[in-house]
């Protein structure tokens, strides 16, 4: 594409607002033309704050506007499939927050529509664009730790979203662990062959009525012979805790830290460091990097590095983990493009 990529953001909750803010002020080659949200007054308020020309409560106004080149979909999970299909059928390129859809059949349908209309789609797995995870992947590919054999992922939130969010989130495996499922594939360069999952409610009692848990563990095997264990928790009341580790035949790479600033304070009272309070601080640059990648791909006519097929695979792993937890069985997996 020549000139600026004209964009619209659909959904102006926390993630949607960050994407709108980045597109409005920080992404070269992009112009934020419109923001949309069904909540009365939300789009108007964000448009004023970010100096965006247009706002609407109706996403169809965005799809029907031929001047809009791309949409960023940051709406609830259960709306993703329909919005992606509408965008693709109107020849809009698509950035969609994870997960791609709610069900595998929906994912197959949107992939068909994306490909039939020859538009690009990027799924918002921002950890791939975090400098630490990217460097870890580079070092693994370079052979610095030999053959990668094991991935360990930790994703701990300092608390739980409200019950209303949990009810529509798809559950802890789809809402949280899906990031680790994707990054495990990214780092190990392998596909999942089996999934086993367990979970429990340790603190947030309302999880039971929502059909969810606040502490979960997933064990994965891969076609390369590698394996992984992935913890997800809503109970890290000390702070936001995201870490990863890859063990290889000749060494180990550890990714991430609890430290907000890379300093250690040592006094007579002991040694301390400050803890990352919430995920905006941990992945702020990654969110910017992924949108910059999306816009650059559109300008250069290149397929994004994390696309609709990656979104489908991560969705199927997450749903298999949920099924494994519910049935107390191991789920075998295989993937088709």
Give residue 235's pLDDT band: very low, low, confident or very high (50, 70, 90).
very high
**260-290 pLDDT, tens per residue?**
544 455 556 766 555 655 555 678 899 999 9
Give residue 257's pLDDT band: very low, low, confident or very high (50, 70, 90).
low
| Cβ atoms of residues 144 and 253 within 8 Å | yes
Residues 6+ apart with CB under 8 A from 227: 149, 150, 151, 219, 220, 221
Q: What is the pLDDT of residue 334?
A: 85
Rounded Cα–Cα distance for residues 223 and 168 (Å): 32
**287-316 pLDDT, tens per residue?**
999 999 999 999 999 999 999 999 999 999
Q: What is the CA radius of gyration of the chain?
A: 20
Chain region(s) in the chain for CATH 3.40.50.720: 5-119
pTM over 0.85: yes
CATH 3.20.20.70 for domain 128-283+314-332, yes or no, is no
| Cβ atoms of residues 113 and 120 within 8 Å | no
Helix or strand holding residue 250 (H, E): none
Chain region(s) in the chain for CATH 3.30.360.10: 128-283+314-332
**99-158 pLDDT, tens per residue?**
999 999 999 999 999 999 999 999 999 999 999 999 999 999 999 999 999 999 999 999
Average pLDDT along the chain: 93
**186-215 pLDDT, tens per residue?**
999 999 999 999 999 999 999 999 999 999
Give CATH superfamily name and number for 5-119: NAD(P)-binding Rossmann-like Domain (3.40.50.720)
What average pLDDT does the segment 252-263 reach?
69
What SS3 class is residue 195?
Answer: strand
């Amino acid at each position: 594409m020549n000139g600026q990529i004209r964009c619209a953001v659909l959904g102006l909750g926390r993630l949607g607002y960050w994407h709108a803010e980045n597109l409005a002020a920080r992404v070269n080659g992009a112009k934020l033309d419109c923001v949309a949200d069904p909540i009365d007054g939300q789009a108007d308020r964000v448009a004023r704050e970010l100096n965006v020309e247009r706002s609407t409560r109706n996403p169809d106004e965005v799809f029907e506007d031929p001047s809009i080149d791309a949409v960023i979909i940051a709406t609830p999970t259960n709306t993703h499939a329909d919005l992606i299909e509408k965008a693709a059928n109107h020849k809009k390129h698509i950035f969609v927050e994870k997960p791609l859809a709610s069900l595998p059949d929906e994912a197959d349908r949107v992939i068909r529509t994306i490909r039939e209309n020859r538009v690009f789609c990027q799924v918002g797995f921002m950890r791939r664009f975090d400098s630490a995870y990217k460097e870890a992947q580079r070092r693994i590919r370079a052979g610095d730790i030999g053959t990668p054999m094991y991935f360990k992922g930790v994703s701990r939130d300092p608390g739980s979203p409200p019950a209303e969010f949990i009810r529509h989130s798809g559950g802890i495996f789809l809402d949280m662990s899906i990031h680790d499922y994707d990054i495990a594939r990214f780092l190990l360069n392998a596909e999942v062959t089996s999934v086993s999952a367990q979970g429990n409610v340790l603190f947030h009692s309302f999880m039971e009525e929502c059909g969810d848990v606040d502490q979960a563990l997933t064990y994965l095997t891969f076609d390369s012979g590698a394996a992984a264990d992935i913890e997800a928790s809503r109970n890290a009341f000390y702070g936001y805790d995201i870490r990863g580790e890859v063990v290889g035949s000749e060494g180990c790479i550890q990714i991430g830290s609890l430290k907000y600033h890379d300093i250690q304070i040592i006094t007579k009272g002991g040694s301390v460091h400050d803890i990352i309070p919430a995920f905006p601080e941990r992945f702020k640059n990654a969110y910017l990097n992924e949108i910059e990648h999306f816009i650059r791909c559109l300008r250069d006519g290149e397929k994004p590095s994390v696309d609709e097929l990656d979104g489908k695979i991560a969705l199927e792993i997450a749903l298999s983990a949920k099924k494994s937890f519910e049935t107390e069985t191991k789920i075998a997996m295989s993937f088709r493009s």
